[in-house]
Amino acid sequence: MDNFDLKKYLAEGRINLSEAVFKVTQEFEAVEDPNFSDRRAYVSVKDNGKGGEWIVDPNQKKYTPGTLQIIAVLEEQEFEWENAEDYFEDVAAMQAFKDVDDAEDYIYDNFGTDFIDELELHRSWEDAMFPRPDESPFMEENKGKLNEQLDLSSREYPAKKLFALIARDLKFSSRVQDNEMLDADEALEIMRKVIEIEGTESSPEAALGEYIANGEL
């Protein structure tokens, strides 16, 4: 079923999570140094069994949208599993979530209160598994509805949480997923915005050049 779209089937009610069975194959490759440009699914662990701190999960793309969302946020927050066995144990549990309460309880008990209280990771799981495009405030026809429901100007926003959410969502942008190449002007514009947020005196050229000089880019 190459064209099977789990998210679409769930949204249309054609599959009920309580009736679905998800298998997790504990198949992985232990690696010493990840090469993120090859777009494989690297997972950070404290011990991969061969003296390294990374494994590759070749089946990660097959997981539910909710599981992938949780993994992405954990990676963004630099979460590290003890070993491959612990990683696959968590993945198997995530794959078995039937509702947001399951997600909330497991995340709270196994990853810490901040992922619930600050990042609301259980809600991210719910949004990934049960998309509601007709209710999305980001659709053009619903922008007015958002303004009616929320008074954005009267609120204050925690920078740590907002930046973490932005970084999380950027991982799912088409430009990141497709590993799109940026030209110099686009890269410098991104660096310019980051520097503006950080409030540093560095130039975009210097900041970008530092990444290159350090062999990180």
Q: What is the pLDDT along the chain (217 residues), one digit of tens a residue?
A: 445 455 555 555 544 544 444 567 788 999 988 888 888 999 999 998 988 899 999 999 888 899 999 999 999 999 999 999 999 999 999 998 988 999 999 999 999 899 988 889 999 999 888 865 544 444 444 455 545 555 677 778 888 778 777 877 776 666 776 778 888 888 888 888 888 887 888 888 888 888 888 888 8
- CB burial of 102-114 (b: ≥16 within 10 Å; e: otherwise) equals bbbebbbeebeee
d(CA 60, CA 186): 30
Same domain, 10 and 114: yes
Owning domain of residue 217: 181-217
Q: Is residue 35 part of a domain?
A: yes
Same-domain pairing of 186 and 127: no
Cα 26 to Cα 37, 58, 95, 104, 105, distances in angstroms: 24, 10, 13, 24, 24
Q: Could you tell me if residue 141 is inside a domain? A: no
**What pLDDT, on the 0 to 100 scale, is given for residue 20?**
47
What pLDDT sits at residue 139?
A: 45
Domain final residue pick, 99, 133, 167:
133
Task: Answer yes or no: do 196 and 112 share one domain.
Answer: no
* Same-domain status, 13 and 98: yes
Q: 146-162: buried (b, 16+ CB within 10 Å) or exposed (e) per residue?
A: eeeeeeeeeeeeeeeee
Tell me the DSSP string of 18-56. Answer: GG---------EEESS--GGG---EEEEEE-SSS-SEEE
User: Is residue 49 located within the same domain as residue 118?
Assistant: yes
Residues 34 and 91 in one domain: yes
How far is it, in rounded angstroms, from Cα 15 to Cα 213?
A: 50
**Is 125 a member of any domain?**
yes
pTM value is 0.55
Domain assignment present for residue 174? The answer is no
Does residue 142 lie in a domain region? no
Q: Are 211 and 217 in contact (CB under 8 A)?
A: yes
pLDDT of residue 138: 43
Number of helices and strands in the chain (H, E) = 11, 4
Domain count, the chain: 2
Q: Is residue 214 part of a domain?
A: yes
Asked if residue 216 belongs to a domain, the reply is yes
Determine contact, residues 196/202, Cβ cutoff 8 Å. no
C-alpha distances in Å from residue 155, one per residue of 151, 163, 167: 7, 16, 21
Same domain, 44 and 129: yes
105 and 189 in a single domain? The answer is no
Does residue 199 sit in the same domain as residue 107?
A: no
- Looking from the CA of 68 toward its CB, the CA atoms found within 13 Å total 18
